[in-house]
Structure 1
Amino acid sequence: MHANNLHKDGYDFKPLIKTVPELAVFVINQADRRPTIDFSNALAVKTLNQALLKYHYQLRYWDIPAGYLCPPVPGRADYIHHIADLLAGSNSKVGTPNDIVGLDIGVGANAIYPIVGSHIYGWKFVGSEINPVSLTSAQTIIDKNPNLKSHLTLRQQLNADNIFKGVIQANDVFSFTLCNPPFHANVQEANAGTQRKNNNLVRNKQKRGTTSHSLSSQATKHLNFAGQHNELWCKGGEAAFIHKMIIESQDFKNQVRWFTCLVSKKDNLKGIYQQLTAINAHEIKTINMSQGNKISRFIAWCF
């Protein structure tokens, strides 16, 4: 993980349980007696998130509706820290170090990127979202956390065919955009991906020899990797979504310093670079990130 990531050394469960006592029931022991949770259990993951966000990011309240995407906080924090490096390494023509504003495309019901970015770096954010339930959830998080009220503003994307259009306004200036795009091309592909992830978690759990004495049958009924269709899939999948983002970015090149977007599938990078070269992007970067055995990346470009 990034050297500045608060979670790079793993989870210290004692203060987390003290912060959110409900977490205790989900803590299990690995074969080497180190504590962990069952990451295939959505309720366990959400409770861990609540503890992490309250303990490390001083939130008073955080929750999401059932069936909505529950983000892994360490990985999301890595994206934020690498964006900070990106901004520090460029001669920014938009914004200043003390007045950085980011645009979160698809802020979701969880609002995780603005939570982390505002707390760690003091950045301000605009969060766009097409799903009204997600918007309501994110607004509730803002309303119940006074430290977020001056750092996050929400805007609804009313046209599913647009990404930046209808969200970026005439007088807006952003230091960066970020996005966790829908990865899959259809619901069948999304469901297959979810099943693969859960199967991998079960295999990893068996390898670690994790044990549990207190998990309830109700808790173990839930599987992780929930998400609404707009969070998980779109027509054409990740490649088509990012292609649309690249095309639209041309219209806002004087209002945004760095456009960025996560790229789940490494094989998509070749086509992305070809598209960015075709529109004469001035600078293109691929920033690689590593969280344990997982390798991820985001693409960044500017004009």
Structure 2
Amino acid sequence: MSMNKFMHPRNIYKSPPDFKALAVEFSEFKNHVKLDIAGKTVFDFKDPEALRALSRALLKKDFDLDVEIPKTKLIPTIPLRLNYILWIEDLLEFVERENDIKGIDIGTGASCVYPLMAAKKNKWFLLATETDKDSIACARSNVDKNNLSSFIKVLETTGDTLLTDIIKEDEEYDFCMCNPPFFSSTQELHPFFKSRTRNRPHPKNAFVASVNEVVAKGGEVEFIQKLIAESKVLGDRVKLYTTMVGQKSDLPALKKSLRDINIHSFKEAEFCQGNTTRWGLAWTFLDCDLRKAPDIAKLASKSPIKNKAPLIFELSDTESTPENVLEMTKNMLELFKKLQMTIEEVTRNKLHQRFFVSAYSNTWSHQRRKRRQKLRQSTEEKLTINNNSECEIENTPKSPGKRTIDDICESTTKKLRLSTESDSNQEAVFYKFLFAINCDKNKVYIELNTLDEESNREYLHQILQYIKNNFDKTEDNTSKNTV
């Protein structure tokens, strides 16, 4: 199933690219596109040369970037790379960083795709690190070819550290990003070796990469844990530490590592594109809570909320007069008070009354059971009182100066009971709803509705049923009062 609907809303690939138009514009890509009998385009995602041509075409068309991607190196998936950059944009906005953005791309690769896209799109300044000499030469060539050397610096590193030997004492960066090697051994590269169920389909795209790009000792967990350890040393000299995570099963271990160093806050995200999902992990030492950063992609993927119609109960044999509306409103409010609910007036009109009603517990369901329990409790209390009085007669009075264990336990229980009772008066609202009495022509009817879509409408149905069950009693009281 395609995951495009869950992509970041600003991702231009949320609607798939037009392969026919790409084929017309780029001859290299045209060689890998065919038409079937029905005239539909056919593209082989398992052909490495076709994938390379697709990535080059998208980078040129959408970012005006001419990028060389060597045959033995990783072919970057452009929609995924853009998802990651857009997520960093959102995080930077959350920590209120807008201008002169400086970042670090750890292990930039031969294509140097993240710095190229970020510099071209946002004018960010990127330090791109790499250990492989061939990849460094290709990355520098891509930067020079696209005239972005004023924004991007490709730095050769030993790989002994990820950040601590790179960032100087007087330097600060807004973020770091990383697409770590996912696997811990070459055996894991085989699709049958990876942890997937039998029913889960195998990857639809061709896999092309050098071993050092996708394999590292301990896999991505050990690689990212190394970054976490170095972040503790650097602190807020990097405002946002971010990394991509290839396997969801690795997230719990990484989150535990972040908690172990007492990180201030961290944020998880999903990068959905095509048939692939990757995850993002960000953390910071700044005095802000990344958990409160809006998840733009998730918010955009939610379907629009539909307002549900209120529950209506027509009051039969009730004329639509102001006097009847007033009397019925009074009876209904008394009913809610018996249910230990509080009432807040919203609007008052002779023929239209509206109130907010708040319940602090479920007092409207299982009424018969509650009455039986009350009766049973009162009977037990009477028996207890009788037994206590008999015991007092039989036992000799104790010295008032000495307290036994039983006395201490009893007084402690009383204190706990009193504190619980006092706390219950300030307990949180259990359920809140809108109650209204309206008139339409010659009809008077009750309306009940929730205040938001997250409220449990089942409770609303239960409350309406309670009103129906007790409606006859309120009408009897009304007629008696009238007489």
Normalised by the size of structure 2, how large is the TM-score? 0.54
Distance 1:36 1:257, change over 3 A: farther
The percentage of aligned residue pairs carrying the same residue is 33
SS at match of 2:236: coil
Unpaired stretches in structure 2, ≥5 consecutive residues? 1-6, 286-483
SS at match of 1:253: helix
Give yes or no for the alignment of 1:290 onto 2:272: yes
Distance 1:194 1:153, change over 3 A: farther
Q: Distance in 1 between matches of 2:84 and 2:99?
A: 20
| Cα contact 1:184–1:190 (8 A) shared by 2 | yes
Q: Distance in 2 between matches of 1:180 and 1:112?
A: 11
The amino acid of 2:95's aligned partner reads S
Q: Distance in 1 between matches of 2:145 and 2:64?
A: 12
| Cα contact 1:39–1:201 (8 A) shared by 2 | no
| Cα contact 2:116–2:143 (8 A) shared by 1 | no
Q: Which one of the candidate residues 236, 244, 247 is aligned to 1:265?
A: 247
Partner of 1:156: 156
Map residues 206-225 of structure 1 onto 2, 5 A cutoff: 224-225=206-207
SS at match of 1:87: helix
Partner of 1:85: 90
Map residues 112-127 of structure 1 onto 2, 5 A cutoff: 112-127=113-128
Normalised by the size of structure 1, how large is the TM-score? 0.84
The amino acid of 1:230's aligned partner reads N
Unpaired stretches in structure 1, ≥5 consecutive residues? 203-222
Q: Distance in 1 between matches of 2:279 and 2:175?
A: 16
The amino acid of 1:265's aligned partner reads Q
The amino acid of 2:107's aligned partner reads G
1:16 deviates by: 2.5
The amino acid of 1:26's aligned partner reads H
Describe the superposition over 1:162-200 as per-residue Cα deviations: whole angstroms up to 9, x where unpaired: 211322223322111111100001111124479999x83
Describe the superposition over 1:52-86 as per-residue Cα deviations: whole angstroms up to 9, x where unpaired: 11111112x21122210011101110000011011
Q: Distance in 2 between matches of 1:70 and 1:258?
A: 27
Give yes or no for the alignment of 1:24 onto 2:6: no
Partner of 1:277: 259
Q: Which one of the candidate residues 50, 62, 71 is aligned to 1:66?
A: 71
Q: Which is worse superposed, 240-249 or 18-27?
A: 18-27
1:151 deviates by: 1.5
The amino acid of 1:58's aligned partner reads D
The amino acid of 1:40's aligned partner reads K
Give yes or no for the alignment of 1:145 onto 2:146: yes
Q: Which is worse superposed, 278-287 or 21-30?
A: 21-30
CA radius of gyration, larger in = 2
Q: Larger RCO: Structure 1 or Structure 2 (Cα < 8 Å, ≥ 6 residues apart)?
A: 1
Q: Distance in 1 between matches of 2:42 and 2:170?
A: 47
Distance 1:300 1:23, change over 3 A: same
